[in-house]
Structure 1
């Protein structure tokens, strides 16, 4: 599991003083950076190996301004060329949201998916969770 903490910023809230629903997608992407580094340690955008195929966010509780959140990131499925990233947002010891993102190891020159290398697969397996 990877873990990333964020302090909820004022600009991330709406008129009801809770976090806007669009913010969680940004937090989830930022918290996936350690996974991105497994594929591209230097985060070389000219040789980027991943493409986002889909994502889903489920809102379980309101998340409020001025308090820390912890985003936990796991691998929940590992296929030949695609994998699912499962994430949770916690605030005040309560799970407040979950996200599921499907990523594909992608060859941009050939415009098609490619198998995940064995060494990368091993590193991803260290963060697997069964749902």
Structure 2
């Protein structure tokens, strides 16, 4: 599992004083960088190997400005050419949001999915989600 700490910005709050729901997918994407490096170690966008097939966020609590947020990133499922990244946003000891993103290993030249190789599967498997 990877973890990243985020300090919410005042501009990320909504009129109700919560972190706006549009912010979580951005935070989750930033916290997926270690996963991206399994495929493109230098993060060169001209050598990118992944596309997003699906993103979902379930809000299970409120997030607020003024308190650090910890994003926990793990791998929930590994398929033949795709995998699911599970992410949780924790604030003050409470899980406030759970995100799941389906990423596909992609061949941009041929415009099609590509099977994950064994090294990629091994790297992903080292971070499989373990329910507590």
Scaled by the length of structure 2, the TM-score of the pair is 0.97
Aligned residue for 1:127?
127
Length, aligned pairs only: 131
Matches within 5 A, 1:77-88: 77-88=77-88
Scaled by the length of structure 1, the TM-score of the pair is 0.98
SS of alignment partner, residue 71 of structure 1:
strand
Aligned residue for 1:46?
46
Aligned residue for 2:64?
64
Give the C-alpha shift of residue 17 in structure 1: 1.3
Aligned residue for 1:34?
34
Aligned residue for 2:92?
92
Any unmatched runs of 5+ in structure 2? none
Aligned residue for 2:9?
9
Displacement over 2 Å in runs of 4+: none
SS of alignment partner, residue 122 of structure 1:
helix
1:73 correspondence with 2:73:
yes
1:102 correspondence with 2:102:
yes
SS of alignment partner, residue 127 of structure 1:
coil
Give the C-alpha shift of residue 44 in structure 1: 1.1
SS of alignment partner, residue 29 of structure 1:
helix
| Residues 12-31 of structure 1: per-residue CA shift (max 9 Å, x gap) | 00112110000000000000
Aligned residue for 1:115?
115
Aligned residue for 2:23?
23
Any unmatched runs of 5+ in structure 1? none
SS of alignment partner, residue 85 of structure 1:
strand
What is the CA RMSD across the aligned residues, in angstroms?
Answer: 0.8
Give the C-alpha shift of residue 130 in structure 1: 4.8
SS of alignment partner, residue 19 of structure 1:
coil
